[in-house]
Structure formats: structure tokens, C-alpha cells
Amino acid sequence: MGSITLSKITKTFGPKEVIPPLDLQINEGEFVVFVGPSGCGKSTLLRLIAGLEDVTSGQISINGEEVTLAPPAKRGLAMVFQSYALYPHMSVKKNIAFPLKMAKKSQSEIDEKVTNAAKVLNLTEYLDHRPGQLSGGQRQRVAIGRAIVREPAAFLFDEPLSNLDAALRVNMRAEISDLHRQLETTMIYVTHDQVEAMTMADKIVVLQAGRIEQVGAPLELYETPRNKFVAGFIGSPRMNFIEGHEAAKHDAHTIGIRPEHLTISTESGAWQGKVGLAEHLGSDTFLRVDAGPLGELTVRAIGDVKVKYGDTVFLSPDPSKIHRFDAGGLALR
Amino acid sequence: MATAHSKTAARLMISPAVLLLLGWMLVPLGMTIYFSLLRYNLLMPGMESFTGLDNYRYFLTDPAFYAAFKNTLLLVGGVLLITTVGGVLLALLLDQDFWGQGIVRILTIAPFFVMPTVSALVWKNMFMNPVNGLFAYLFQALGLEPYDWLGSAPLFSIIWMVSWTWLPFATLILLTALQSLDREQIEAAEMDGAGALARFFYITVPHLSRAATVVVLIETIFLLSVFAEILVTTNGGPGYASTNITYLVYAQSLLQFDVGGGAAGGIVAVVLANIVAIFLMRMIGKNLDA
Ligand SMILES: Nc1ncnc2c1ncn2[C@@H]1O[C@H](COP(=O)(O)OP(=O)(O)OP(=O)(O)O)[C@@H](O)[C@H]1O
Ligand SMILES: [Mg+2]
């Protein structure tokens, strides 16, 4: 239960085409993450799948059944909103029970499911609280609880963790991943945090201006990006791009090398440069090196490297990890 | 801020205003109480004498008092019902996107700016008049007998006119509340399988309850003292059919020249208004917390 097929769907707001024709297949049980820069249409795409917006053209089917014109309630999907969208005047219990009540389930069944969901999500003590009395993480869990009791064909998450602090985000990330393993239900997750994307996804969909740039497993995108946009978007810090003479040596318009694939030395190496910014984190060192004609390069070194602002250093790329791109930005293989 | 020192300072600072207000209220109230204890008839000036609580006894045992009391409750309750329910429906309508929305919203408030005497006269002469009124014309056009609104259903007619004045107020307050409702909550309810009616009753109505409370409290204050509409249309009649307590006090003091009785009625009205206020605060005031 829970395969979703989008074929040639488009969405325009007035004169503005937000989603140009787009095809996507989401398989049963997959954890799919949509990433992309702000305003690229991730939320719009999710809302189209949910049925909260009508597609301008194209077809959506869920489990092989066409639902393009079906209202949200008929699609059997559950959504967790960025603002959580809890019902403020209802207790946690009533919030979680709401979809069951709307489905006219019996009271005993509702009680049982709410109790179970509360147990799974550690909310048992809070069942009689109002959402206003809960912390951000607890509200998040209530929103998830409201989604799981319906046993939907798929879960849709729109940046669910962006209102939480960093530590809580790590926890909730793990909880959502665990939940996915337990329930084995399809999940579609929108984020612009690539750590979330890389750690949680079975499949990442990289979007830019409503177009799909690449679809693939996290490491596939990291190792073999299809174009310059994906190469620059996936991986942190960003990949370094070098054009001109150095790129021509590799028969390419542009070459890309990730910060972690440059080795730094104070004595000798392929490229010479001066250290600009140096960030010593203990476990890693991030350096911004001004490499003259090559431009600014970011380097990541494991452990602490004893260099400081203004030092001259040498950088050597790992030749097997150099990405080559043509003038249009497409990867050359 | 809440140190003992700052509290004392705050008390000192507001005391002139409080004293002024107290004087403003206490002097008329004190004089009313004083008059209510006198036998004071305008037709016999200089003959005032102390009568104790007689005025109260006469006022409270007068059958007109019971009628006026009932009419006051019906008037307040009826107008509240019409304006809150009508206000919610109109607010829902005005919240939709339609062409000319801005102008319509501004026009909606217009009745609130029409003076009560003027609106009551317009209703009386242009709409409800059984000979020349538009309603009479409409009834005749439909082949029905014209209805004498003010003669046959005086209280209802007055409730109707007052509601017309207060409906815009309720609508506007409820409309702003409606616009502050989070879209995502509605969408979440939609995903949860709630139909339009369920969304209205489970999400919109609870969200509006606070604004509705404000509407009810404010309107009650003003509706307890409706007077002009009655004076220019029915004069409290026929009989006492459209007399409320405010009008009864007026009739007692200025139509029967009994200042003492009127003052006693005024004090009774103050006490009743306070009882209603306490009841209202108990019943719906908790909506205003949190
Ligand atoms: N209701 C709407 N009317 C008009 N334009 C809209 C509407 N909703 C979204 N858009 C436009 O569609 C584009 C995509 O918006 P969307 O919310 O999907 O972006 P997003 O990828 O979710 O961005 P973010 O990461 O900031 O949430 C934006 O340019 C936005 O201005
Ligand atoms: Mg978004």
C-alpha cells in the first residue's frame, strides 16, 4: 500500500508556472525526500500530491488508482505541517482522535488507537493537555500522532523539523526514521536541510525551479551528480568549481572537487594558495584557501591542522574524485 | 515591575483619575438614591417628603415592571441571537474572494453609523407602515394581507430594527477573527477527512468563540439601555408590549411626573444590569482567558 505516480503534472499560479511538466514514481514503503532551494516548488508539489491544490494538468495516481480530482480526504494520505496545525482548543487526545472521529470509528477503537499512538510517541502523560501547553517537540509528536492513527497510504511531511532547535532536531530525525522502519509506510518528506535529506532518505529528489534535476539514493547523488546544480547542492561544504586552464587539462569546461577530496600540505602539492578563513572544530578543520587563478577553494581536513590566516599551503586533489562538467553544466562521464 | 514600591507609585499616579471617575459616578448615583427615597412629584413642587422604600415597593409590584423586565430580556436575547448567528454567516460570506470585496466590506458597516432615531423612523415609515410601507407593498404584491408590524408584533419589530443596527458590528468583529484563523488548520482538518460542516463546527466555531464573547458582552451593555427606537416608534405600546425597563423609568418620571418612582426604577435597573453582567461573565467570561 502506498505507491504514488505523478505523470506530466503541472501547476501554474496565474501567469506563473511553478511546476513545469513533471514525472515521478514513488514506490511502496520508500522514504522519499524533496530538497531544493527556497521557492523551488517543494511545498507546492507536496500539496498537489495531498490534494490541497489542484493540478493544472497531468495525472496523479495512488496505488494505481487515479486520484487527480479526488478531494484530500479521499486520497488516504496524512500530512504533518510545518506549523503543526494542531487544533488549539482540543486536548492532545482529541487532536489525535479527530481523524478517527471524522471517519466515524467506534469509541472503543478510537480509545485503543489513541492510547497506542500516545505510547509510541511518549505522549501518554500529556493526553489531557492543550497544544498551547506543550513544547515544540511534543507538538511535533502530536502532529505525527494525528497522522499515524489514520494508517494512511503515505505520510507527507513539510519541513516538520524546521521550528525545532538543533539538538531536538537530531532526536526527532531519528524518531521519524525509526517510525518509518516500524510502519514501513511510504513517506514523502520536504526539507531544505541536506543533512536530513542525506540521513533519512531512501531516495532524494532534487528540485530546482519546479524541475527535477536528479532522483537517486543519497550516496548516488553525492558520488555521481548528474549536473553542476546537484553537485553543488548535495554535500556540505559545497563542492569547489574550477574553470578555465585547469579544467581544460581534464577536457572539461568546469571541474568540481569536494572539500573533503583535497589534501592539504605545507610543503608541496599540485596547487598553491594562501589560507583565508580557518575554522578549527577539533574533529575537522575547514579552510578557505585563496588559490590565485583557481579562485577560492574550500578544504576539509580531518583532525586539527596547524595553519593560520596568511600561511602558504599546497593542495592536491584526489584524481579519482574529480567531477567534470560541460559548458551546459551536464556531467561528463 | 511588581515590586511593592512600583505598586504604590502606580496607585498614586492613577488616583486622580480614579477619584474623578468616582465623583462622576457617585454624585449622580447618590442623588438618584436620594430621590428614590422621596415622595417627589413634578406636579406638586416643594412638597417633597421622605417615604422610605415605598417608591421601590410601588415600582416592583407594578404589573408594568414584570412586563418591562420580560421585554428587556427578550430584546437583549433576541438581538444577541440574531446578530451573532447572522454575523457569523455574513462574516463567512464576506471572507470569500469576490469582486468589489473592499467596497462591500466598507458598506457593511454603514448601518452602524445611522442614528437610532433615524433608523427607527426609516423602518417605521418606509418599511413597516401597513399602508405605505415597502413590506405592505410586498405583501400586497404577493396577494397577502398587509401586516401591521408595529401594532401586532411591536417587540419583534423593535428587536428587528435594533438587530439591523448591531449586525454590522458583530459581522466586522467576527470577520477579523475569521481572517486570523490559520489556513493550515483548515487544511489539516480537510486532510483528516472533515467535511465543510464538520470543519465549520469543530474548527471555525471554537476559533470564533472568543470574538463572539466580546460581541455579546459589548452588545449587552448597550442593549440593556435601548430607548430611542422605542420612543420614536411604539412609545412602549400597545399597552406595555414593547416597554423595556429603560422606557418604563422614563415613563414613570416624565410621563407620570413621579421623579421618586423613576429614581427607584433607575436603581432597580442598575441592580438588574449588574446581575446580568455577573451572569454573563460567569457563563462566557472564561472564553476570554488564555
Ligand atoms: N498560492 C500561491 N499563489 C501564487 N504563487 C504561489 C502560491 N504558492 C506558492 N507560490 C509560488 O510558487 C513557488 C514555489 O513555492 P513553494 O512554497 O512550493 O516553495 P518551497 O520550495 O516550498 O520553498 P520553501 O523552501 O521556502 O518552503 C514560489 O515562487 C511561490 O511564490
Ligand atoms: Mg515550503
Domain with A290 in it: what CATH number? 2.40.50.140
Q: Domain total for chain B? A: 2
CB of A39 sitting under 6 A from ligand 1: yes
Domain boundary pick from A202, A231, A260: A231
- Identify the DSSP state of A236: S
B29 and B135, same domain (yes or no): no
How many domains, chain A?
A: 2
Does B290 score more than 60 pLDDT?
no
**For residue B105, is pLDDT > 90?**
no
Contact call for B188 and A71, based on CB within 8 A: no
The residue among A75, A88, A199 whose CA lies nearest residue A142 is: A88
Same domain, B32 and B80: no
- One domain, residues B106 and B205: yes
Judged against a pLDDT cut of 90, whether residue B284 lies above it is answered with no
Q: Give B246-279 as a DSSP string.
A: HHHHHIIIIIS-BHHHHHHHHHHHHHHHHHHHHH
Residue nearest to atom 6 of ligand 1 (CA): A13
pLDDT at A1: 67
Global pTM value: 0.80
Q: What is the CATH number of the domain that holds A118?
A: 3.40.50.300
Q: Are B161 and B227 in contact (CB under 8 A)?
A: no
- Interface test mutation site (partner B, options A62, A90, A95, A102, max chain B beta carbons within 10 A): A102
B180 C-alpha vs ligand 2 centroid, how far in Å?
21
User: Comparing C-alpha atoms, which of B66, B161, B176 is closest to residue B119?
Assistant: B161
User: How many other C-beta atoms are found inside a 10 Å radius of the C-beta of residue A5?
Assistant: 17
A87: left (phi over 0), alpha (psi -120 to 50) or beta: beta
Residues A196, A51 share a domain: yes
Query: Are residues A73 and B188, on separate chains, in Cβ contact within 8 Å?
Result: no
For ligand 1, whether the C-beta of A44 sits within 6 Å is yes
Are residues B131 and B268 both part of a single domain? yes
B79 and B25 in one domain? no
* Same domain (yes/no): B17, B61: no
Q: Do B96 and B7 belong to one domain? A: no
Per the domain annotation, does B47 fall within a domain?
A: no
Q: What is the DSSP string of B206-221?
A: HHHHHHHHHHHHHHHH
Q: Does residue B83 have a pLDDT over 60?
A: yes
Domain that holds residue B111: 52-289
Measured from the Cβ of residue A10, the count of other Cβ atoms closer than 10 Å reads: 16
Tell me: do B111 and B71 sit in the same domain.
Answer: yes
- What would the mean pLDDT of B128-137 be, rounded to a whole number? 83
How crowded is residue A26: how many other Cβ atoms within 10 Å of its Cβ?
Answer: 23
Q: Are residues A174 and A37 in the same domain?
A: yes
Task: Give residue A323's domain range.
Answer: 237-332
pLDDT in tens, A170-205: 888 998 999 899 889 999 999 988 888 999 999 999
What's the pLDDT band for B257 if we cut at 50, 70, 90? confident
Atom of ligand 1 nearest to the CA of A37: 25
pLDDT value at residue B41? 82
Is residue A269 within 8 A of residue A329, CB to CB? The reply is no
- Verify that A111 and A147 share a domain, yes or no: yes
Residue A191 in contact with ligand 1 by CB distance below 6 A: no
Determine which residue's CA is closest to atom 26 belonging to ligand 1. A38
Please report the atom of ligand 1 found closest to the CA of residue A53.
Answer: 1
Q: Is residue B225 part of a domain?
A: yes
Q: What is the pLDDT of residue B1?
A: 57
CA of B112 from ligand 2 middle (Å) equals: 42
Shared domain for B141 and B271, answered yes or no, is yes
Give the residues of chain A that fall short of pLDDT 50: none
Residue B196 near chain A (CB below 8 Å):
no
Give the pLDDT of residue B289. 65
